[in-house]
Structure 1
Amino acid sequence: MCDAWRCVPGLEVLTKKVNLCDTVRKILGQPQGDSFIKSSDAICQCFPRIGDLSATSGFKSFDQGVLSIADSKDVNQAVKVQKCMNDSGFKTADDRDKVRKTLQSMAKPKVLIIEGPEINEGSYFKLIAISKSCKPGSSCTGMRIQETIQNLLTPYMAEIARKFREGLFVPWVPFLQNLLLISNDFNLASQNLGSPFISFRSRFDYATQTSCVELGSCGGPAVSSFLKQVGDIVKSTQLIYHMSVPETSSNLLITYIKEAQDANELAEALPDESASADLFRGGEIKTVQDLFKFVPTIDRTFLLQRKIGWIVDFYAGYSAENRDLVTSTYNSLVAVADSSSSAIEFELNVQEHPENDSLLQQIIMMKWIMKGEIQGHLYTMKRAFERYDDSIAKSSFGPGKSGVVMEPSAISYQRWTKIPKMVMPCSKQVTKTFNKAGFTKTFSFTEYSKCMVEGVTAYYPKLQIPYIRLAL
């Protein structure tokens, strides 16, 4: 038996506590040691946390542009992690400029891209705070709704208004005014056609009833052919001079011109507090592109373009229904009015048959009336249909066209923090066997060393750029 005072009963490994920061400085050297210590929380705690958060439903939802109260906890954690990284010197980078260039490249001569306000985490929490309190039936007072909406949208409204004005309201006004002018010209020509046509018809009736029936002067081929052509012109003109663009359609044009002018003036307006609160009460603000619902000019444009589309379809239909009759009548009248009378004069032979002189004078007078008093009005009416068709063809409206198409959407850009390739303290668990005075002891401990770690990147929730694709 061994006396503990006179012999050693075994081997004990003694450890010494060291300052971890001093150890890091010793391993990495300076200034790398202090730099690592300063950023250690970000690298060792915050950075891994980003990966955990990216798997949460709130992170994914916000990443897709959804504005949901249920996601606020996860979004708040993502904000804290990003701040932790930034405060430690790891700045946030993004590809926003690249994405915006891609977005703007989608613009074409007949396609406008109108950007709306981005929603970052700060804006998100303000909107969520309103959504939490502004429920159906609530007063929504004290929520500073108007201030929030104005702060979000005011920086964008001038550009939004400019594109709506240049793309829609400014060209709409002269387009509608032109349709109104054409309608007025058409109706005036139709009205002015009445008196000369009645005179012309009377002469035709007199000639056919008196000269043809009583005197039998119309049997020759030249005279009968002329009177047959004139008879056809009389029948078609009888229909034409009763034509008139309905007053109701002209009144609608006047109304829509005024609405387009008002829309132009109010293009930069934002909704009042009550209208904004109604959108929150109705649960209509669910995604970033829903922010366009706070731009009244969009709804105003949608309703107005439907009205314009309807009235343009009416004019296109009116032209299609009546154009051919007016055009063919005009062409026939010009051909008859400009035709030679020599065959008719030879056939009537007034020198030998003076009784035919009255018919010849009636024919000469009918040709003069056709050319001098009817042709011009028919031409105006024919040109009116051509002007309708040309104006409508150059517009966004009319049969087979979709009119103005407004498509709200969003495009996302990525944000990230990158930890570069750097020297870091690495550790490994070491097990060592100690031998002393015949005694053996196995002991495990942590050993630190200097090592190179490859760069890694942490991705934050994407931010969305809402936009409207406006196809003219």
Structure 2
Amino acid sequence: MQPANIQLRQRPSWLATLDWASTVSGFLLLATGILMIINGQCSLAHGLSAYAPLCVGSRLSVQSWLAITGIQFSLLSTILLPHATSMTLSKCFTRAVETTGMRFDRLLNSLSTAPLSAQLRGSKKVIIVRCLVFMLSALVSVLYKFSFVSVDAQGMLAIPNGQIYYNYGSDGYPDTDPSYTEIGESDIPREYNYALGNGVPTSILSANLIDFLTVSNGSVVVVSDPGKTFERPTDLIVGPKVNATRLTNILNGTVESCNPLLYLRSSFYVLRSLDNFYGTKWPLVKSRPYNDGVRIDFTPWNSTSYTFNGGIMDITSLANGSLQAWVAGHSLPSQPQGIYDYRVTVNMRYCYGYINWKNSAVFGHFEIEDPTDIKCQAFPFDVAAWNQTLWSFNAKAFIQAACAGKTTIDDSFWTFALPIIPIMSDHSSVHKGFAPPGERNPRCNNIAQDSFAVAEGMIRASRTGMTRLGIGLQGLAIMTAIVAMCLILWPRLPLLTEWPAQWIALVEGLDKTVVKEAVKDGATGISVESKTVVFLSSSAEEGVAQNAALNTLPVICAGVKEVSTCKIKVIVPSGVKVNMKTIKVPTWNKCKSRQWAAWNCPTLKKPLRTCKGWTCIPGWEKKSRQVPSSITILTKEVDLCDEIRRALGKGLGDKFIKSAEAICGCFTRLQNFATTGSFTAMSIRGEMTTATTKVADDTLSIEKCFGKVSLPILNNKVDVASVLKSIAPWVIAQAKDIDLSVFQSLARVVAACQAGNCNANSIGAAVNNYLTPSFQLMEPPIKSVLVQWDGALTRIQERVKDINEAANSLASNYDIMRVEFDSSKQRICEELQRCDGQGVPRFLDRVDEVIEAANRLWPVRGPLDVPSNQLGKRLAETIQLRKDIKKYPEAAGLVSMIKQSKFKKISDIFLFMPIVQRVPELAKQIKNDLSPLQGIIKQYKQSSGEAQENTWSLSWSNIIWPDTELTSDSPEADAALIAELNAVDELVRKYLSSHLLAYSNGMVIMDAELRGFSVVNGSFAMETKVVTYNRWTTISIDMPCSKKETKVYRKSGLQKSFSWRTYFKCKVVPVTAYFPKTHVPYIRIRGGAGIDPNDQ
């Protein structure tokens, strides 16, 4: 792979790269989520339901709250989750390219803006994360709609008027409101209901009459002092009946009418005669009705006694318009007729008032309550006129029906009959002359004017509550917001975003050929392919390599060869010297030579004067001169170790010098091994051959090389810890790790034996050296399974013994019990002659059935013999197998398996563990031996349980009623019968109860043991597996990078260049070398035993 470097001139600031959308969304979700959870605590949420309204805002509808939370989860799904994912990936990409580097094609293909086909060629983890985030967003977008539900709550509700329709009948009723039924409306005398049409019968009962007869209090209620009904003055309220179909939203509360409604208040005043106290004042009962009124004579039908011979009730009217009834019972034939027993005076008046109906969970319907009278009008009663109406005829008929079945003359005789008269009266005429008052109920002032009534109490679906799912989703939003805020505050900046301008700046630092190769197909939507590894660095960081190619391990190692000896010298420039030379240079000399000469030199006194002397003659001559001829670079030798210490610092330099051989020698060798086929055969497939043995030898020497310089070797064993952890119902028995040393010792003897040099002692020693610590690890989990088998087999064996003993007892006791029972039965039926009733024969038949049922159970002894004989053998084998867990294989067997090529790789190591083969074999034997018990349980369990239950509850006192069959004229005969019955009870307890209990309990426990025994129920499984984990070492430290430095020296008009190697501190491109994988053999056993707690 070719490395490339992206350089940043400066690190970007935190605020410059801050994701403001995520920050604002996260803050909003955090604040609103906390408020939502606090608000939802009042809802007593459970799953997808709630039992109480929200703390605040519960009057808002479910749709309103869903609209509010819809904004929340829109921010979560469309902004926060996608942005948080992008930030996470951005930071991970940044870390990767800053530390270990990242392939350029994987980086580009992993961006979210890449086509899907390209993303599939990128990082698989990235596309999985994006898919999971997308699914989470979609799931949240659906689930939040179940966050709120309508809940029942205390409150007030306005009941609107129904659709008023005009009553065209001639009965005098006003316009009809379907919210309630007027008193007496739709009573029997009505001939035709024009409002409802032909679909309604011409003769139907009124709601008041039905409520009175059924005692439902829906429209008729009796009002008096508590417990003094009809003993003190009592009012009978006959009022309108509310239409419950319009009040389905009211679970528990009261409904009060907004306008005054009409009702009939009948006041009852009762006087009763006591021991002829009023005999001198009260009239005698005569053959004619009292005061020529109306007599209602009632004679009970289907009466079996003569304690009540019926009664009479004389109806009359007083001058003040009151109704008066005189009540007396018929005298017996042997008695003369006496005075009346009761005198009841009834005053009736129509009233208007605000009607209350009450509903509760106890009643289950709406009951009328005593209203407060606003306006009343007397309703006079004239018995003569009343007796001429159809109302009278119907009332007398219903009075006869109401008193049917009465067996005594008391209050209930007339209280069931007399109220029918005011109830079944002509109420229609009052509407014409008695108008309602105009005032409106003050309680309805705050509701709509067209409301029929106001309801208070528990209103169905009147408020909004938050479900447990809604609270959970708010918690998810809070968690996501917290994670997003942490990502934003994470010190590592999200450098590698998908902003095109940023990528233009970053790509500027890459080699143009690298960019050209990477994006040659990108414009057409094809995935990028490039083997270049890119690194991210900043020019502001001290010591960062100026050339990305210099900080790779091969280049670094090439510059520090044999540095560990500290004998290598490097030449560096120390100065410059100018070389001179002598040359002849032509020079003009003004006085090259002299000669004697005369020349005129006149004066004033001597104009003809001449002078004589030496004069200079000029000319060219050659002179010698020193001029620069060349430059010599002065150098000096510097110790390479000193150069490294200067570049890295003394401490770090000494450490590198010490570990240079391991880094540049052993590490590189390990990298080269990892590319060979034999390395793969050993690491991945665990093959044991001569070639893999050499790999083990070489990698062990490399590991020792690393150990000398304390180069850390890492592993990911923690990643396989979950695989090696026992999680019910599986038990994990882990063997010793097969690391390099174990693999080397096993592979050597195997390879030698495959080559024909089999040494049984060497093979046995190598295998046993591995098995010894492995058995120490594997023994506890395997033993825990076998201990459960041991316990289950022991308990099953004990139950089989109990059942056999109980069956033997039942078989031996049958004849004795049959004789004794037949004898007792003969004495009861023939001698005492007490079998002609119902209880005694029924009891004796039950005893006979129990005896025969017990007799059908003892044949279980035969089928139980075979499995009971085998249980002891299997139990002994299980105990012995627990002792043999650490049993070693024989050396001869090991040699034979290797020669037969059965042991060729690590996964074959289980062939050397006898326990691995013996456990499944024992499980199969146990299953075969215990299978017959399942058929026995199927045949006898239910019948034994029924027989035991029938025996346990069998007693003559539970069947025979003493007041019907033990009430003969002879106490001695009754005592004899009781003695015989007690003897039969004792017979059952003595010969059956304890044995059937042991038999039945044995069957139940044995059935539970078999159903909980994995070997029997088919859940047993045993698997041999091998899991691997990696070991590696990564070099990512400051190291001495080197580069060729060239300098041009200039002096005296001359120049010369000199090149030498310089060393500087750099961060090596992180590189990792992997050792062969470490193999961990383990066994998975699903083999529990014991009674399921649900069966206990």
Fold shared by both chains (TM-score > 0.5): yes
Cα offsets for 1:40-60 (capped at 9, x unmatched): 444334333333322333323
Question: SS of the counterpart of 2:1077?
Answer: strand
Closer/same/farther in 2, CA of residues 33 and 376 from structure 1, 3 Å limit: closer
Preserved CA contact (<8 Å) 1:67 1:124: no
- 1:413 equivalent in structure 2: 1029
Within 5 Å, which residues of 2 pair with 1:5-404? 22-23=639-640, 25-26=642-643, 28-29=645-646, 36=656, 39-64=659-684, 66-69=686-689, 71-87=692-708, 89-95=709-715, 98=718, 102=722, 106-108=725-727, 111-134=730-753, 140-142=758-760, 144-165=762-783, 167-202=784-819, 220-244=837-861, 246-339=864-957, 346=965, 366-392=984-1010, 395-399=1013-1017, 402-403=1019-1020
Q: How many residues align?
A: 452
Contact 1:417–1:458 (CA under 8 A) maintained in structure 2: yes
TM-score, L = length of structure 1: 0.76
Amino acid at match of 1:259: E
Tell me which residue corresponds to 1:449.
Answer: 1063
Q: Which deviations, in whole Å up to 9, do the C-alpha atoms of 1:215-248 show, x marking residues without a partner?
A: 9986654454344434433442232122225222
| CA deviation string 1:364-414 (max 9, x = no partner) | 654432222122211110111122134445554543x513x3333334333
The 3 A distance-change label for structure 1 pair 380 and 422 is same
Q: 1:277 aligns to what SS in structure 2?
A: helix
User: Which of 1 and 2 has greater Rg?
Assistant: 2
Q: Is the 8 A contact 1:53 1:59 kept in 2?
A: yes
Cα gap change, 1:142 to 1:397, in 2 (>3 Å): closer
Q: Distance in 2 between matches of 1:13 and 1:147?
A: 76
- Supply the distance in 1 between the matched residues of 2:952 and 2:970 (Cα, whole angstroms): 29
Provide the rounded CA distance (Å) in 2 between the counterparts of 1:83 and 1:139. Answer: 29
Q: What displacement does 1:147 show?
A: 0.8
- Give, in whole Å, the separation in 2 of the partners of 1:270 and 1:447: 64
Amino acid at match of 2:1003: F
1:465 aligned partner: 1080
Deviation at 1:286, TM superposition (A): 4.2
Q: Could you tell me how far apart the structure 1 residues matched to 2:764 and 2:1032 are?
A: 33
Q: Deviations over 1:435-466 (max 9, x none)?
A: 9999999x997644334232543222221222
Instruction: Write the distance in 1 (CA, Å) between the matches of 2:958 and 2:664.
Output: 104
Q: Which amino acid aligns with 2:811?
A: G
Amino acid at match of 2:1033: T
The 1:142–1:289 alpha-carbon spacing in structure 2 relative to 1, beyond 3 Å, is closer
Mapped partners of 2:818, 2:969: distance in 1: 24
Cα distance in 2 for residues equivalent to 1:204 and 1:52: 97
**1:422 aligns to what?**
1038
Structure 1 residue 188, shift from structure 2 partner: 0.8
CA displacement at 1:158 relative to structure 2: 3.0
Letter of the structure 1 residue corresponding to residue 796 of structure 2 = L
Cα distance in 2 for partners of 1:158, 1:219 equals 79
Distance 1:451 1:348, change over 3 A: closer
Aligned-residue CA RMSD (Å):
4.7
Give yes or no for contact 1:279–1:285 (8 Å, CA) kept in 2. Answer: yes
**Structure 1 gap ranges (5+):** 1-10
1:278 Cα deviation (Å)? 3.5
CA distance in 2, matches of 1:16, 1:77: 47
Whichever structure has more strand as a proportion of its residues is 2
- Residues 117 and 13 of structure 1: is their aligned pair in 2 closer, same or farther, counting only changes over 3 Å? farther
Measured after TM superposition, the shift of residue 192 of structure 1 is 1.0
**Structure 2 vs 1, CA of residues 210 and 55 (structure 1 numbering), >3 Å: closer, same or farther?**
same
Spell out, residue by residue over 1:240-280, the C-alpha distance to the aligned partner (whole angstroms, 9 max, x if none).
Answer: 12222522211111001111121122222211212323332
Partner of 2:306: none
Distance, in Å, in 1 between the alignment partners of 2:1031 and 2:896 is 34
| Separation of aligned partners in 2, 1:38 and 1:226 | 103
Q: Amino acid of the residue matched to residue 145 of structure 1?
A: I
CA distance in 2, matches of 1:81, 1:428: 32
- Alpha carbons 1:309, 1:398 under 8 Å: kept: yes
CA contact (8 A) 2:810 2:855 kept: no
Uncovered stretches (5+) of structure 2, i.e. residues with no partner = 1-628, 1089-1096
CA distance in structure 2 between the partners assigned to 1:382 and 1:389 by the alignment: 11
Letter in 2 for 1:195: S
Specify the code of the residue in structure 2 equivalent to 1:417. T
TM-score normalised per structure 2: 0.36
